[in-house]
Amino acid sequence: MSRFFRVVVLGAVLGLIACSGGYTAPYPTVQLLSYDPVTYTYEYEVRQDFDGVDGFGQFEVDAYTVQADPYSMSGPVSNINGNEAWWTTRTTWSPPDPYVAYVWYGGNVPPGFVLEQAYGVPWIGVFTLTVPNTQPVPGMVIVTMATDGYKHAVNEDVPGAVPEPSGLAALGTMLAGAAAKLRRRKR
């Protein structure tokens, strides 16, 4: 490979790295802000920055719970309008039961340039979900863009069913047996 060609390839690679380092996704970001194990309450923070090219109108938490479980949803409480007019619903998602989607919709958060011009701050909303007898497990949350309906999925912890007591007892017995076997093997 000629020296000139190597310099061109190296320049292109460095240019791509520089561009990707400065790029931020034009979609809202989501994170599990807190989980209270006493009340089984999950708080998700969704942030629409100035680079958001589209507004979004729906937030969804795909949980590993059953349709019959009790639940409550509130919010979001945002830094711009306080409590806004979001509707809530609960539905199943594919694969079917026991997978449940907890959905807030109709909020119509504006695109980034509108937020910047009208408010001068990004939109930050806190969505609250309470599902008794659950614990955070790895899962998926989704924000849906307002105009094109594009769904942007983010890996985040979601509510999951707590194992039944007999299942926990069986798991504990297995772990105790495995620990005893490892101790014998070390000797």
Q: How far apart are CA 44 and CA 149, in angstroms?
A: 21
Write the CA distances from 99 to 37, 92, 172, integer angstroms.
21, 6, 26
Write the CA distances from 109 to 12, 68, 123, integer angstroms.
38, 31, 8
Higher pLDDT, 134 or 108: 134
The mean of the pLDDT values for the chain is 81
What confidence category does residue 95 fall into, taking pLDDT thresholds of 50, 70 and 90?
A: confident
What confidence category does residue 6 fall into, taking pLDDT thresholds of 50, 70 and 90?
A: low
What confidence category does residue 21 fall into, taking pLDDT thresholds of 50, 70 and 90?
A: very low
| Statement: residue 181 has pLDDT above 90 | no
Higher pLDDT, 95 or 31: 31
Which residues are CB-contacts of 93 (< 8 A; sequence separation ≥ 6)?
62, 99, 100, 101
Percent of all residues in the chain with a pLDDT value above 90, rounded to a whole number? 55
Q: Which domains does the chain have, with CATH numbers?
A: 26-175 (2.60.40)
Q: How far apart are CA 170 and CA 178, in angstroms?
A: 12
Lowest mean pLDDT among 36-40, 65-69, 164-168: 164-168
pLDDT (0 to 100) of residue 122: 95
